[in-house]
Amino acid sequence: MSSPQILRLSKLSFATSLILSGYAFADEANTKDDSLEKIAVYGQHHKNYITEDAQSATKLGLSIKETPQSISVVSRALMDDFSLDDINSVLESTPGVTVEQIETDRTYFKARGFEITNFQVDGLGIPQSSGSIQGTLDTSIYDRVEIVRGANGLMTGAGNPSATVNMVLKKPTYVTQAHASASYGSWNNKRLELDVSTPINDEHAVRAVFTKQKAESYLDRYETDKTIGYLAYEGKLTDDTLLSINYVNQQKDADSPLWGALPLYYTDGSATDYDSSTSTAADWSYWDNSAEQVYVTLEQNLSATWVAIARYAHIENEQDSELFYVYGTPDKETGLGLTGYASRYDYEDKHDLFDLYASGKFDLFGQEHDLSFGVSQAKMDYNEQSLYDYTTGNGFPEMPSLDTWDGVIPEATLTDGLNGSDIENKQQSAYISTRIKLSTPLNILAGVRYTDWETKGTAYGVEQTRSDNELIPYVGVVYDFTETLSAYASYTETFVPQKELDINAEQLAPVTGKSSEIGVKAQLLDDQIFVTFAYFDAKQENLAVALPDSLPGDTRYYGADGINSDGFEVELSGKITDDLSASISFSNLNIDGDDLVKDYTPENQLKLAATYQVPFVEGLTFGANYRWQDSVSRVQVEDASGAALVTTKQDAYGILDLMANYKITENVGVTFNVNNTTDEKYLHSLYWAQGYYGAPRNYALSVNWQL
């Protein structure tokens, strides 16, 4: 970072601190005896899946209706009813989001045609070294998951115009409560959850969550062992000061995981059609992922309407794996023609995150307005290493037909070709946002965020050092026609530094773009139903897209200039009748500028989750969770003129999950889930040239106890 850039950011940090201190001293005399008033809105638990308040889009304490962007919330109730036990299944149920599960333990998420790279925990941004999630993020420690669709640079700094996923941790309660759940399902899937919260006294409380899950799989040889521990403390240090400490430990060990997936066409160009259980994993392969996280939050009341919040997080992720990849094109008659590829891969990263901001209200021209401002810093270090076997003959073995292969292959001696990355990233930001009430029905939201991103280090022998900075504006308008109906519009720009390498092993320039959205939000039937409609338009330039002929472990990219996406989303959630509650959404997406992305991204999606409480059988509830998408494809082979010679197609399909819950007593209930009820056979994703099939019909029974 150059000296002028340091000076500019330092001035912003100093000015923000000075303003924050000024508000504290100015209000001290009048607010000395005021009790702590939290500006943040945490939302309520709605069994009927109605959209909740969320804090992922602004730090102004606004409701979803007051925010000029599309926001969806997956509640704890929905996660419990349909066993949405990881972030993959949560986002599969989210409007406008596609889950590109390319392997068993690596997943990409997309919205509005772009990768989701912005993830938050309790509103604190967790920068990702890539757009993928390794392993899985278990949801047992979260109260809800908020998804802000579209660009969200005001809250997260660098980011795509896709979506921001905010995972809200469970909080300690000041009334003792306990919950336990034990389930057993297909393929010997065993899961235990314990959740206990209790007050220490009137001003301090703690909560603990423990989850253990061991499962085999519909995929040959694949097994997982997952352990999650969570501890939370909340307490008042003074009448005006609140301290929260959260600790998370997640471990997922996977035996015989997929690295890569199945070949999708034969040498004659026809489509392969393996059994859903077919896997390319060797019997000795494994992929272990662990994550340890600490979050500390200090909230200080500055006045009756102002609060300052300081947050710090330390996060460590580790991967340890020995993996087996299969590549090539098989012969249709013999199944031969494939080659194996063994590798050891180790990875670790460390994040130190800090965010300090103040939020509150001020009076001007006879109206009360909202203001938030702050500074943040994220320091991220990661190191990765790869090893291969070029000497024993077991590193690249010829493969038998996958139709008969049982995973038995000589174990490679992975000691050759040590290579990897050692990267340090630092992001520093200063931001300010406000909501100005021009009149009773008209509100304007405006903000700006200055972000400075610095990268140092090397990746596979290539120098990665670079420095990028950007001033990101945000403006939005909300007009309230009535207390229950409003219209909105918003505009922002985007900026994403990239670590991906091009064909010449040089780092791609940052992605830049523009994003706009207009929509309508309405609360109907005495606020029991929330309806939103949004039209969006986004453009990015220089977006990294993987070259189709990249080698495993050495993916190269090109910048897709001028990619555009536009479309609309409709969502309804709430209590339709006294007995029927539902969340229904339909999304339409059009992509121009990149045929590859356009082809493998569904144009239309329909998602529905509903529960019905049977009126004549007390305690009995039925539910359905349905997800449909239209057809997608991927051109696999082209001729010299660019005409498609081989294309993989996945026809439109829908997945129906059913649920029945019966409360035996006030404290004990049982839940029976049937997933993929119609036994649909489908490919998870065409994001890569390979793919594998989703799980066939399966069952689970759980017993739940609550104090």
Confidence of residue 626 (pLDDT cuts 50, 70, 90): very high
- Determine the Cα angle at 58 with ends 55 and 63, to 5°: 55
Q: Judge whether 95 and 569 are in contact, CB under 8 Å.
A: yes
d(CA 330, CA 335): 5
Instruction: Please give the pLDDT value at position 104.
Output: 95
SS3 of 77-127: HHHHHCCCCEHHHHHHCCCCEEEEEEECCEEEEEECCEECCEEEECCEEEE
- Per-residue H/E/C for 331-367: CCCCCCCEEEEEEEEEEEEEEEEEEEEEEEEEEECCE
* DSSP string over 666-682: SSEEEEEEEESTT----
Mean pLDDT of 440-445: 92
Contact 623, 609 (CB under 8 A): yes
The residue ranking higher by pLDDT, 238 or 464, is: 238
Q: Is the pTM of this model over 0.85?
A: yes
Tokens representing residue 477 in the block: 């308008």
Q: Is 20 helix (H, G, I), strand (E, B) or coil?
A: helix
H-run or E-run covering 603: none
The pLDDT tens digits for 669-700 are: 999 999 999 999 999 999 999 999 999 999 99
Q: How confident is the model at residue 7 (pLDDT cuts 50, 70, 90)?
A: very low
Beta bridge partners of 383: 348, 422
Mean pLDDT value of segment 76-90: 92
Q: What is the C-alpha to C-alpha distance for residues 32 and 51, in angstroms, rounded to an integer?
A: 36
Q: Which two tokens stand for residue 154?
A: 């005001």
Structure tokens at 356: 């300090």
Residues with Cβ < 8 Å from 483, sequence gap 6 or more? none
* Distance separating alpha carbons of residues 50 and 583, to the nearest angstrom: 7
- Residue 257, pLDDT > 80, answer yes
Q: Distance between alpha carbon 521 and the CA centroid of its chain, in Å?
A: 24
According to the per-residue pLDDT averaged within each range, which of 50-64, 311-325, 529-543, 558-572 is highest? 311-325
Summarised one tens digit per residue, pLDDT across range 386-422 is 999 999 989 999 999 999 999 999 999 999 999 899 9
Q: Is the pLDDT of residue 356 over 70?
A: yes
DSSP class of residue 642 equals: S
Pick from 126-135, 168-177, 285-294: least confident: 126-135
pLDDT band with cut points at 50, 70 and 90 for residue 237: very high
pLDDT at residue 463 greater than cutoff 80: no
Ordered by where they begin, the domains of the chain are: 3-706 (2.40.170.20)
- Contact indicator for 472, 153 with CB cutoff of 8 Å: yes
Token duo for residue 601: 């991204």
Backbone angles phi, psi at 306, to 5 degrees: -125, 140
Report the SS3 class of residue 216: coil
